[in-house]
Amino acid sequence: MEFRVGDRVMLKVSPWKGIIRFGKRGKLSPRFLGPFKVLARVGLQAYKLELPPEMAGIPNTFHVCYLRKCLAVEESVIPLSDIHVDENNRCVVEPEAILARKTKELRHKEIVMVKVQWKHHRGLNVTWDAEEDLKRRYPHLFS
């Protein structure tokens, strides 16, 4: 494979799992990190990458066999600084607005469903949720 300067690539880290730990351990450990920007081509089969400061102890030149082209759209990548995690290690996402309401009829009861737009959410940021669940979790949204 060949990359151009400015391309975004993913870095394969599975050979280094025993040497350097990247986040989780075991089968939940990441196989690829990134995306990283290609700064320069070094020789015929190596590339220099722009690594973040937290990876300062790792050399920034890698053989082409450790790189994969990043196919993700730049806007869909969520920076780790934007992710908020609570004490139970769950991602915290706040609702922004209620867009619509509808009633879902079941056999013995009716459930009011609301269409919610979420903050800090990439991709599809609108979902249908039960109103009573949202009132319990986010009472400030209904006041």
Which tens digit of pLDDT belongs to each residue from 74-108? 666 666 666 777 787 777 778 888 899 999 999 99
Which tens digit of pLDDT belongs to each residue from 38-63? 999 999 999 999 998 888 888 899 99
Last residue of a domain, one of 25, 43, 77: 77
Strand order in the sheet with 46-50: 61-63, 46-50, 32-42, 8-12, 67-69
Last residue of a domain, one of 77, 111, 132: 77
Q: Do 59 and 105 reside in the same domain of the chain?
A: no
Q: What gap in Å lies between CA 29 and CA 22, rounded to an integer?
A: 7
Q: Is residue 11 within a helix (H) or strand (E), and if so which, with residue range?
A: strand 8-12
| CA angle (70 as vertex; 68, 76 as ends), nearest 5 | 155
Domain range for 113: 95-142
**CATH label of the domain that carries residue 125:** 2.40.50
Pick from 76, 30, 22, 18: which is nearest to 52 by CA? 22
